Structure 1
Amino acid sequence: MQNHEEAVLRLSLRRLCAAAGYTGGRLFLHDAATGRFHAEAVLDDPNPSPPVRLTRRPRQSVGPDDPLVELLRAGGRPCVLGEDRRGGPGTTRLAVPLSGPDTSTGTGTGTGLLGFALLDHPADHRAEEPLPDQVSACADLVGAAVLGVLTNRRLAAAHEEVARRHEALRRGGEAERRLSRLVGRPGGLSALVRTCAELTGKAVALFDARHRLVTSAGPVGGEVRIQPVNQILAGARVRPEGEPYEPCAPRESCEPCEPAVVPARPAAGLLRRHVLTPVLAGDRHFGWLVVMEYPALLTAFDLLVARRGAECAATEFTVQKRVADVAWNARSSLARQLVRGTSTVADLRGSGEYLGIDIDARRVLVYLTGPGARRDDPADDERLATGLRRRLGLDVLTTRGSEGLVLLVESPRDAGAAAVAARVKSAVREVCATHPGGDGLTAGVSSVAEPSGLARAYREAREVARCIGRFAGGRSPRVLAVDDLGPARLFLANSDTASVRRYVDDVLGPLLTSTAHHTTLLLTLRSWFDSGRSVRVSAVELGVHENTVRLRLARVHDLTGLDVLTDAGDQLSVQTALLVLRLQGHPALLSPDGTAADHDGRRTA
């Protein structure tokens, strides 16, 4: 098509030169986009005599405000310019305006001119001026040909625009089809980001609302080196022209947010441009979708993929959250039914099979209370359960009790009950120590219980937690098992706190001074009871002679009037008082945070 247009324009210029009696010239056509007139065809004199030496390079375009254009627009007829030094000394120039049939109706170029021809001849033609009517008639024919060329160009440009838009719609539809099919399907967010990278041919990453990388993907055969989103956000706060840019924040409307192109800012560490799109669903802000301008420049299609990818990611986040909430609620409901024993075994087994939970497994029940466990926040409960699950490698069910959180830890079938309870107690202490607000948590840990004994395990663990909360001091995570307190927990959990403290003072008051001798006597009592009231085992633990243990117990009798060696009632009174002191964290006794004391009453790990 372009060669055909050039041939038509050159032939038209040749005909016009022949009609005017000129040997060469140039044909200028109007460009509607810029308003200028560009040289489209050139006809040189084949045998210039004498040769013409141009004093300056011929102009290839003329502006709409050029005096020549004004002259032709005003006259509308050919005019001889005479000797024009712009074309060379001794050159006679004839300017011929070109117009088409539609320019008079206002539907043409808008300037009254489709173009014009500048005809040159090395000889002086002023004495032999061409006939104006003859030149004008030929100019009308040339104008019609020029109008056809310009019309073809406009049609070709319109066709190209339609084809471009069709291709954009086709690619957009393909991107929409591929991305929308991934929502709620296997692969999740990783497949979504990987598809965005394939569509754009660029590196793509997804960050959550806390600026943590969720997943990333690069073009086929390429690497992923996207910078952290907080650095991209920092570089986006000021645009190069100084206009502040604030990334979109969560909002109440659910309309999609337009992607923003973050410019390259080497001073901020951004060596390339990035497309930053918030992942929003209603008033929930899930994170950011980032497309890096590498290995090709950004296009409008990249912005479309970024926007649609962010919308699909928001939908996927919402779907995953709802699925997680449903699964969490179902597991929590099953755990509640296991503890309460309100459902039949057949119903429980059916629910367990659906959720992949063995309802016949033995379990350790953990009752968590305190400020950090009273908030009814499923996400917070999930973090506690996940931390415990990772440390133990065992399944953990959660549900809510009357005053705190209940955790059901599955016990391996081939493991000893005491060992499992000890592992659970240690893991609970570690999880509480790393959990936000874990300093105020209190945990009662039951022994390993069969499914039919979970209701009893719940009562026992809750009594332990209440004992710790009522008598233990300090803010470190306080964790004790049912076996650590024994039957006395029922008395401590349900008695008046002031009365219990007076009881301890009545029983062991003479030994509650800060002297080292009295601390040693308390330490001896603890060791003697922990060893099953064995003088020999206690002496070995304390590193003293057996007679020393007997002498110390006799000294306790002298100070308190209690015969712990032979009187069972005195033994129960002293053991209960020691238990309260242990809960209070007395330096001579094992405290609820898992630390012990040396022979001088100092805490040891």
Structure 2
Amino acid sequence: MPDSTVHPTPPTPAVPLAALLAREDLALRQIAGPSDPPPVVHAAHTSEMADPYPYLLGGELLLSAGAHIPDAADSDTYFDDYVSRIVAAGGAALGFGLAPVHDTVPHALVEACDAHGLPLVEVPPRTTFSAVARAVWQLLAQARLAELRRVTEAQQSLAAAAARPDPVPSVLRQLAQRVGGWTALYGPEGAEIAAAGREPEAPVRGSLTELTEVVRPSGPGTPASATPASATPASATHVTAGTRLAAYALGTGFVLGVATPAREPGDHTIASVAAVLLTLLTGEQQSGSGAARTSALVRLLLGGTAEEVAPLLSKETHWFVVDARRNDQRDRPAPSGARDPVDMRLRRGARPAPTHPQPPDLLAATALGAALGSTLIDPMVENVRILVPADRTPQPQPGWTLGVSSPAPAQHLAAAAAQAARAMARARATRTALLRHGSRPGLAELVPREEAQAHARALLGPLAERPALVETLRAWLSLHGSWDRTAVALSVHRNTVRQRIARAAELLHAELDDPDVRMELWFALRQE
């Protein structure tokens, strides 16, 4: 009787025995054993041992010239024991050479192979075992190359699917197409959320649902936050009703189920790639952060206030605003028409073309946000802006210049953003990695805020329609009247700074060399 034990085979692509038999240069011929299901081999091994069991790993085409067969042995018993040991070791097939020991394949060996269900291949005298082994390895190399190509194409298509507007259904559809079966995503509660591909029979679906519970990292109803996501999803496989089932735990409480009519080389790798992508796609949804940010945006667009949407973004009630710029970030020429009117009056050749910073790449901005412990990032501006919960004090980051505001509630975040921008401008001018907005008590606390703001509006009224002059005056005063450092902070020429300060002094009727005047102007600028 054939051995029903399932033997492990090497993790290499299988080569159909039929492909080896089809090689005309080898002239091999199968003379015994089953052909359905089609036999496959994973390697070739030559041995003349009477008991090859200790030398086989499983899946081999064992090649032998029969030198181990004793002349006086009971042939029926000997061959039955010999073949049974090959089958017990997981051998895939036996190749028997007709020369130089035997002119024909022993009839008892043919009967034993038929009895034990082991394919028996006749190797003609002109075909060497080395040629057979070389052919096996060539076919294995071709199969491996085809598998790698298939996996690579599947990875690319799955990544493209993950970037579509409906990423989760797209990934499931693409996975179902690549493995030729049915795929389903199960939620933390065990319910089927989405599916794609050829739907299996009800019993198969039921078995797959049961299999997903085996790999689920937490019980039904357990929050996904209690289970850390894993880059290598846990998996389990099962065969039912002739269908191969596989389940992959996504680490977020979700589980990916796959049902295929057969298990092809590379299927597990392809499904694992899909599981990793789905882990990333479902992680934010399950944690609620992605949905909360979307809800906050919708409410703002529909007229909501910052105070109303702030609780959706974080449990914190106060945030730091961080203004960041990469140290290697180059400036680019400003588009035509963006030149400052004061700059245009400069003599040709007295200054380089005006510039403004390029936005950093999204990957670098996202990495910075992760380092600061926040996902609330605006990278689509010249300087990256990040909201950091007040319980996470921003620290200097290699390769970046940071300006940090004082902690502020939602209704004052706009003012905090101005603080961060000024701090970052000073940090750039002073070549400091991180500069925080001063929070030490000062004279401003001695004057009621409403009165201070009214005084500032009156004092700075002549500059109300000239924001460039206001910003230049603020930077110049904060940098103790340094023309060069102010020019660096504002990305303009030092002559531009001189002309703007002169124009501001003229409009304000102020003597800016007087420290009392400077102090009063600085106090007013701080109230904006």
TM band (smaller chain)? 0.3 to 0.5
Determine which structure has more spread, i.e. the larger CA radius of gyration.
1
TM-score by length of 1: 0.30
Q: Identify the structure with the greater helix proportion.
A: 1
Instruction: State the TM-score, normalized to the length of structure 2.
Output: 0.34
Greater RCO (CA < 8 Å, at least 6 residues apart): 2
